[in-house]
Amino acid sequence: MTSSRELIVEADGGSRGNPGPAGYGAVVLDPATGETLAEAAEYIGVATNNVAEYKGLVAGLKAARELFPDATVHVRMDSKLVVEQMSGRWKIKHPDMKPLAAEAGRVFPAGRVRYEWIPRERNKHADRLANEAMDAAKLGRRWEPSGSTAALDASAARNAAAPPPSGPPGDAAAGAARARSALAAAGTGTGRDLAPDGTGTGSGAWPGGASRPSVPHDGPDAGPDDGLFAAEDALTAVPGGAEASGDFEAEAGVLAPTGSAAHAGSARSAAADATPTATARSQGWAGPDMGAPATFVLLRHGETALTPEKRFSGSGGSDPELSAAGLRQAEAVAAALAARGTIQEIVSSPLTRCRQTAAAVADRLGLDVRIEQGLRETDFGAWEGLTFGEVRDKYPADLDAWLASAKAAPTGGGESFATVARRVAATRDRLAAAYAGRTVLLVTHVTPIKTLVRLALGAPPESLFRMELSAASISAVAYYADGNASVRLLNDTSHLRG
């Protein structure tokens, strides 16, 4: 090989907590063929993101030097800080990074290395290596090249053509219908569904029961991760044959009687009752969207004094604070999210219980909290502070109408689920555009979370009554640029069972 040989080095690092458990990844590529020539990854203990990124750079440069000592190197990283500092445009002030930058500068002569910033979605190979190293350390192992799938994943991503955006992220009813038709025409049957990125649909998306809604439970008797809880005694009978779950913070957990307006018509027409009119949607699974999605991690706030009493508590009532139990839940979820290390931004409902929950997470992660009015809970009007039974006694006709139609509002000028769906959908589209490619924690309430899940699935309004959502639970939905959405998780409470 001659000294004119050029190599590409892609490097990344990450910290699950910043500072927290950290690792780096680096790959050396042939610029002509894209072939992976060398990989490096390592868990480095507790460190910051920037330190991990610099260590990834050093490892990548050393791997390139071992292959071709006389090469010229094109470094590509998604760290603006490292790229600008190593290019000499920004000063290096932090004492932890000065020696790392100096070490990187000594691997090759300065004239043989050039730096380029690339978006995160174009640095997936190195990012995957860093995460593999951290995952291995969590299991008490060292990262081994033989066990890595990063090269295969990166190759698949490069070979897949992303379709052009055809509409805002969100509702999937039309795309799902087209996908079902395409699958039927192709004779593929009803096999395992795939998310838009080619992975599985994710864990935790449990369907509700056909005869009654699942039962929320926030106490110590919570069961395993399948979303089923031993709280059947919390059910109360409801006239007309339906049953109530008792979780009325966001909506009464009851099913409208069979044959009511909420069950009439097709799923498509029912969904239209509470779904904002959509612009042109994606062509189902015509092609995978390989761009990094906006991932919303949906956190319901912790308990308030009204939660165990099963009272309506929306945005038109007393705005209660977290109870002592709710504060403990907030700390538990903050610790869990810090351990996962994936949250990059925090956005919260303006209501006190969400702000307190968000603050606990933000303090642990060292992030700021942005307040978003569109994430507030439903206004339950005159029902605020009442139990379902009290509403049944005082406003039976209004309650029946509310249960039968997403367009019906609570007594006294509250919001209908259709109104809330329009507000939440607009908020979703705005945040998905603002945080494309990032993982954002949305701290909000039962109705907004269930609405986001419902719209992502293209499900009808009555599906709101068939989802479990416990206090301080975590759900997740990813939104792709082509309009597809992928529900990744629903009602995870494992962090509350320590």
Catalytic (active-site) positions: 301, 377
Report the C-alpha gap between 251 and 481 in whole angstroms: 31
Joined tokens for residue 490: 């629903």
For 438-469, b where at least 16 C-beta lie within 10 A, e where not — what string? bbbbbbbbbbbbbbbbbbbbbbbbbbbbbbbb
Q: Is 433 helix (H, G, I), strand (E, B) or coil?
A: helix
Report the C-alpha gap between 455 and 174 in whole angstroms: 11
CA R_g for the chain: 25
Report the C-alpha gap between 434 and 24 in whole angstroms: 27
What are the residues whose beta carbons fall under 8 Å from the beta carbon of 441, sequence distance 6 or more? 297, 299, 337, 343, 345, 346, 347, 358, 361
Q: In 101-208, which ranges are E strands?
A: 113-117
CA 270 to chain centre: 27
Report the C-alpha gap between 446 and 467 in whole angstroms: 10
Quickly tell me which residue has 């986001």 as its tokens.
452
Instruction: Report phi then psi at 235, rounded to 5.
Output: -70, 140
Residue type, 275: T
Quickly tell me which residue has 């009325």 as its tokens.
248
Reference 159, options 9, 290, 286; nearest CA is 290
